[in-house]
Amino acid sequence: MVNKMVDIIPEITKKSITNLINNGERADNRALDEYRDITLETGVITKAEGSARVKIGNTQIMIGAKSQIAEPFPDTPKNGVLMTNSELLPMASPTFEPGPPDERSVELSRVVDRCLREGGVIDLEKLCIIPGEKVWMIFLDIHVLDYDGNLMDAAALGCLAAIMDTKIPEATVRDGEIVIDKEKLIELPIKEKALLCTFAKIGNELVLDPSLEEERVMGARITVGVIEDGSVCAMQKGGEEPLTKEEIMKAIKITKEKTDILRKHLN
């Protein structure tokens, strides 16, 4: 049971944003299904084994990947492990406070984690070194630097880019001993490119990639994850208002189109 800071928005702001959107317009002149400018840099942190800095509009997130050798989970003894963690740094927003992850941070990392895991982004079986004993564990740390709305999509995109940027040392087994060759770096075994699209329900419409201002007035949020063939791999509704089945099916349709375009920029 987590207490939330209350964010009070003037009724007039809410109305003006909603009226615009009901007319098919947005405060920053985007189309309802249009992303803000996206910038993506990889290899930005030398000490990380993979890294990415992603900006969607003014939202800015840095992701670093680190590998270490660990024991596999008992129920998946032949699989490597992916750990996704996020920090909503107090630098990123006056509403973020220092301390252990709150429910927003937990939701962010868990939804991104589900997208990557259920989307089958990494071939975890190839990260096994000795079955049941030693596997590679990949840590993804999502460091939120500047919060201007739509953290989910930025984090998922940045994580995918960081994974694609990651190189880990080769690990081989000789006479039962694990030999790590730090000279021989290999890419992570990537099977899929799963991505998220997030929509805000404002007024009667769904808008893609909500800005902070839009998030503050939205009634509900729906995030959809899809893989390359258009299958849905993750979904998460948020917010205190309901959605209809039609809205959800529409969100899936737009997500397919938009992630196809995003994915092209990743190669």
Site residues (CB under 8 A) for a copy of itself? 1, 90, 98
Residue 134, both tokens: 């030693």
Pick the closer one to a copy of itself by CB: 51 or 67: 67
Q: How far is the CB of 25 from another protein (least distance, A)?
A: 22
Q: Which of another protein, a copy of itself, none binds 62 (CB below 5-8 Å, type-dependent)?
A: another protein
Q: Which amino acid is at 60?
A: Q
How far is 196 from 61, CA to CA, in rounded Å? Answer: 15
Q: How far is the CB of 44 from a copy of itself (least distance, A)?
A: 26
- CA distances (Å), 217 to each of 101, 119, 189, 222, 245, in order? 24, 31, 41, 14, 22
Q: Which of another protein, a copy of itself, none binds 241 (CB below 5-8 Å, type-dependent)?
A: another protein
How far is 174 from 207, CA to CA, in rounded Å? Answer: 55
CA dihedral 105, 150, 51, 113 (to 10 degrees): 50
**Site for another protein, rule CB under 8 A:** 1-6, 8, 45-48, 51, 58, 60, 62, 64-66, 68, 85, 87, 89-94, 98, 100-101, 103, 106-107, 109-110, 114, 117-118, 120, 139, 141, 143, 145-148, 222, 227, 230-245, 248-249, 252-253, 256
Q: How far is the CB of 6 from another protein (least distance, A)?
A: 5
Q: How far is the CB of 111 from a copy of itself (least distance, A)?
A: 24
Residues 6+ apart with CB under 8 A from 267: none
